[in-house]
Each structure stands twice: as structure tokens, then as C-alpha cells.
Structure 1
């Protein structure tokens, strides 16, 4: 690694996140696919007996998987899960020579890699873009995906919603500029959109460092992923999955407004439940990691989860914490959870 990279705050933080994965008992593994793609997955270093359920965690747009899932590892492992955490194609250490950019292609690639890793059925959690991929996997592989948690994943959006002003951006080009940022002002605007309470100070030197380390690879491919995701998208063409699904949303989400949460609930009907977290924006996993982790644990472990679905899915933070304390046997360690990606 070049000397300059060792002096980078972002690179140092990236190494810390990787160490948190290895110290939690995971190891990096690479799975070559039949079309020449390679999917990188963090897998259990010492796989437990088959009685432990497998849980697959899919990240959203932004940095690699380690940056978005680090605070969740130890609590979920202590709750009894074997974790599998992929880098989606064109993120982190996953790559592909193929020209296809659809979420269907991502789903097919992740499923092939998980099969190579020895999984035949598992639960899934998908954040934002990862939720789009998880939803496609649930539709394409109903015998493999057992239950699903969709976090801030606007799969019910339509391309026409952008023109109607439902989102904080007006078109796909503006979304790509923010989600694949190349300038400090783009990062600042992105953080304001994704966080309920963005930081007051974001030094330009740190933002430039973050962009240089995390945002300069696969810019073209990531931009194409966004165009493929949104262009021509229609709710009428979205398949209806049959797995039990939990929809988790931040009440102040400015990227995918709350209307998309209710739209997905209506689309899925009785097979779905929803939880809306107060004082949280789009980046719930970064703003509210402990609350989200407890929600995930309880949904997969406790059949009485439905008793906590209050106020038409609106869980007020204090009351949610009270009921969660009775379930959570251990605390979740936050790693820079109150900060943005920088």
C-alpha cells in the first residue's frame, strides 16, 4: 500500500472496520462465478453446527460492507446466527466483467456465491440498495430465502416519482452525483439527505481523503447501477414475494420518503409488518445501530415480535427501547455510529 494511504484517516478507519470483522470471527472469502465475476463475502471463520441459522447482510450504496455492518456483528453472532456479509458487485472487493447492471444480476450473482459458500437457505437483511437486491433474491429463490428485513429500501418507487417531486433529487443524474460523490459539496449534501441530525462540521480535508480512498473506483459501473435500478421502474412490474417480511424505515428519511414504506406494506399485505423509527433518517444503520440491531434480532428470534408493532408501525423511541430491553441480553457496541461516512 502506498505511503500516502497509510497516512490517510479514511484508510486507517477502513483497517479498523476490517479488524472488527476478523475479531468477531469472520474471514474474507472470494467466490469466482461462472460468468467471470468474483464475489467477496465475509464468512464464519469456524462454521458452527448446522443448527445455527445463517443470516445474510446486504449493504447499501456508499462504502464497502465493513463500513455499514461493523456494529452489528457481535450482537447478531451472540444471538445465535452465522453471518455472511457480501460486497455487492462493483463495491469493495467484488467485481465483474459483465455489462449487466440490474438488481436481478446482483441477486443472481450473490445467490451463486452463497451456494458456493455452502448455503441452501438463510434469512436476509438488506439496507437501501441492498434491500433491492434482497427483494429480488426473495422473488427469484423462494426456497432459499426464509425471512426478510427491508431497511430503508424503496423498492416500490417508480421512475415517475422523481418527476413528481417525491424525492430529494429530481432525476437519476442528480442521484448518481450524490451517491457516487466526487466533490466535497456532494458528500455534504448526501449526508444532509441521509442523516436526521447531520454533523455541523465536515472538514474539507477529511472529505477529500474519503473520496480519494472510497469513491474513485468503479464510478462508471456504480452510476450505471443507479440508472438500471430507476429507469423505467414501475410498481406494477414488481413481483409480490411470499416470505415473511419486516419493513424498517426512518421517520425522517429524505432519500426514500415514508410513503414508500407504506406503499411496500400495501404491496405485500399480510405477509409484512412495518416499524418506523423516530429520530432517524435514511442511514438508520449508522444513526441507530443499537435499535436496528435489536429489531433484527427480535424479528428473527422471537415469535412475539408482532406484539410490539404499535401505532400503525410507528414505534416511539422511548417505548421501543423499553420493550427491547426485555429482549436484548447484551448491549451493542457502537463504532462511530453517530458520525457520517467520514
Structure 2
């Protein structure tokens, strides 16, 4: 019985997610950019030029480890009522890949802008979680007229080279790669356990195995290079730029990966255009753990009209 479960539950989950996305009007698309050097997979509105065109575009950027099909299942149905959703896989995750040697979060942001240009999307709202939030932040800075508003969730934009030290000491890990690019089933389970308040450590390894093989084992070298190539948190990195977009910062009060101090620092760094909301009792993935509170905060923020002329496309 255990063997049957271990073989099938991830595949079943993926098929269920794909059905949900299609039911919400999305289709899978490969978008080729940079003269074929980079191929970005994205879930896009099936009727790109149809009735959904009247809705604003919302780009959802996932965090490290999984892909665009995992983690947004509690948002897609509700958000698709109000927005044209674009849900890409980060480069070297899911079905996105590149021949480029670039590895920074800035490169990821540039790829997504080129992807949206290919899809003829002129302006967006952006939402990113964890590493995806860093990419979304860079997107805001690089293309201030392209991104109208930002939702930044559980994202260590203000992290430093020593930010991870506390967590690594707590879990007795040698470096952050053990969590984000796990080499064993035990490391995969440990990484998931620090991301959530749920009891992941109690899950048998035979159930972790198909998840690890499907998501964690792929592109290990490239993902390790992504961590090494991050500009945010690197030694001697230039100061984090300020952005001008109205920003909602969402953070779980029990986030073990990025402490609430980083949320406060990001709010102070952005200034008056940022709003910080803590989600009580949530860990690093409030979009999963506290979906009702998360969705309500995001929709209230994004559907609130901007002042006349604010961030108007030129």
C-alpha cells in the first residue's frame, strides 16, 4: 500500500492542479525568448485576446524548490475572477530552462519581462513569495511603469550574508543548500519542516520520495548556482534599491526562514507606499497555511483603485 501511495500521489496532485488551472481559464504555454536561448513555461489565459482582456494582469511568482503549478492552488480560482493570471516557472524550475550562464534574481526578472512582452502584456500587478518575491521586487525596480502594484510575501529582500546563520544553527545544518537543494530525503523533509508550522517531520520518507524526485532532484547544479548567484545577501552587494509602487508585505508570525525583523526592515526601506500585514500563526507559506486571511488581504489591496495618475504607463 505504501509503495502504491509513494508512486502515485505526486502525479495525482499534478493532474488535479492542471485540471484546476484549466477550469479557471488557463492553458500551458512555452515562451521562447533571447533568440531561443531561454524557454519560459507559463500558465496563461486561454483567451488571451478575448473577454478576459478587460481584467488586469496578475503575475504570480513561486518560491524556491517547486514550480508554478505548486503552491497557488488556494489562490487561482478566487483570483481568476478578478485578474488575468500569468503563472510562470522560474528558470531551472518546472519546465523553464536557459542556456545562459546568468544566475541572479535580476536575470529571472528580465526573463519574465521579456516573456510578458512576447505575450503582449503591457502592465501587471506582481506577487512573489520567498525567492519569487525577490524576483518580483527586482521587476518593480527595473520596470517601474510596467508593474503597478507589488505583493511581497515572506521574502528576504533585506537579508544579509548572516541572515541564515540563526536557522542553520537551530537545525544543525552546514549551509542553506541543505534546505533549498536537498541531496537526501531527510534533507528534503527538514527543508519542508522549517517552511511550515505543519508537522512535516512526521511524514514517512516513502511519501517524501516522489516529491523529492519530481521537484528537488532536477537541475540541482543550476539551482545551487542560483543560490550562489543571488545579488541579494551577497558579500559586497550594492544597496537594495527603493521601489515606488504601492506594496503589500505579507508575513507569517511564525516564519522560521525569514524573521519578522526582515519584514519590518522592508517596510521601512520602501517607505510610505508600503503596507505590512502579519498573518498570525502562519509559517513561511501563508498562502497555503492561512489561505482565507491571505486571499482577503491580497484582494483588498489589489482591487483598491490607485490614485489618478499614479504609476500611469508612459
Residue in structure 1 matching 2:76, options 69, 73, 78 = 73
Classify 1:158/1:231 alpha carbon distance in 2 versus 1 (closer, same or farther; 3 Å).
closer
1:192 is matched with 193
- The correspondence for 1:93, drawn from 84, 92, 95, is 95
**Whole-Å separation in 1 of the counterparts to 2:245 and 2:102:** 27
C-alpha displacement of 1:296: 1.1
Instruction: Specify whether residues 200 and 207 from structure 1 end up closer, same or farther in structure 2 by C-alpha distance, changes over 3 A only.
Output: closer
Q: For this pair of structures, how many residues does the alignment match?
A: 299
Number of the residue aligned with 1:277: 279
Q: Structure 2, unaligned stretches of length 5 or more?
A: 307-314
Higher mean C-alpha deviation, range 280-289 or range 235-244: 235-244
C-alpha deviation, 1:58, in angstroms: 0.4
- The equivalent residue for 1:203 is 204
Offset of residue 208 of structure 1? 1.3
Maintained 8 Å contact 1:172/1:227? no
For the residue of structure 2 that corresponds to 1:213, the secondary structure is helix
1:162 offset after TM fit, Å? 3.8
- CA shift, 1:51, in A, is 2.7
Deviates more, 1:234-243 or 1:119-128: 234-243
Q: Distance in 1 between matches of 2:227 and 2:237?
A: 17
Correspondence for 1:311: none
Map Cα deviations across residues 212-254 of structure 1 (whole Å, 9 max, x no partner).
Answer: 2222210111111111125625686111001111100000100
CA distance 1:17–1:258, change in 2 (3 Å):
same
Structure 1 residue ranges without an equivalent (≥5): 305-342
Aligned partner of 1:338 in structure 2 is none
Distance verdict in 2 for CA 1:172–1:260, change over 3 Å: farther
TM-score (normalised: structure 2): 0.89
Separation of aligned partners in 2, 1:162 and 1:199: 21
Match of 1:148 in 2: 150
Instruction: List per-residue Cα deviations over 1:171-202 (Å, max 9, x = no partner).
Output: 99621121122322112211221112324620
Residue number in structure 1 paired with 2:13: 13
**Is the CA contact 1:156–1:235 (under 8 Å) kept in the aligned structure 2?**
no
Aligned partner of 2:161 in structure 1 is 159
Question: Are the equivalent residues in 2 in contact too, given 1:167–1:256 (CA < 8 A)?
Answer: no
- Do the aligned residues in 1 keep the contact of 2:193 with 2:201 (CA within 8 Å)? no
Matched with 2:309 is none
CA contact (8 A) 2:53 2:84 kept: no
Bigger shift: 198-207 or 28-37?
A: 198-207
Pair 1:51-2:54 in alignment: yes
Secondary structure in 1 matching 2:66: coil
**Correspondent of 2:255 among 253, 256, 261:** 253
Greater alpha carbon shift after TM alignment, 231-240 vs 259-268: 231-240
- Structure 2 distance, partners of 1:61, 1:172, is 18
Structure 1 residues 132 and 249, CA gap change in structure 2 (3 angstroms)? same
Partner of 1:328: none
- State the secondary structure of the residue aligned to 2:11: helix
> Post-superposition shift, 1:100?
0.8
Q: State the Cα deviation string for residues 69-113 of structure 1 (Å, max 9, x = none).
A: 1221110112x2111111110011100011110000000001100
Select which of 121, 129, 132 maps to 2:131: 129
Q: Secondary structure at the match of 1:240?
A: coil
Separation of aligned partners in 2, 1:280 and 1:144: 31
Aligned residue for 2:106?
104
Specify the SS of the correspondent of 1:88.
Answer: coil
SS in 1 for 2:28: strand
Is the 2:58–2:85 Cα contact (8 Å) retained in structure 1? yes
Determine helix, strand or coil for the equivalent of 2:98. Answer: coil
Is the CA contact (8 Å cut-off) linking 2:29 and 2:43 kept in structure 1? Answer: yes
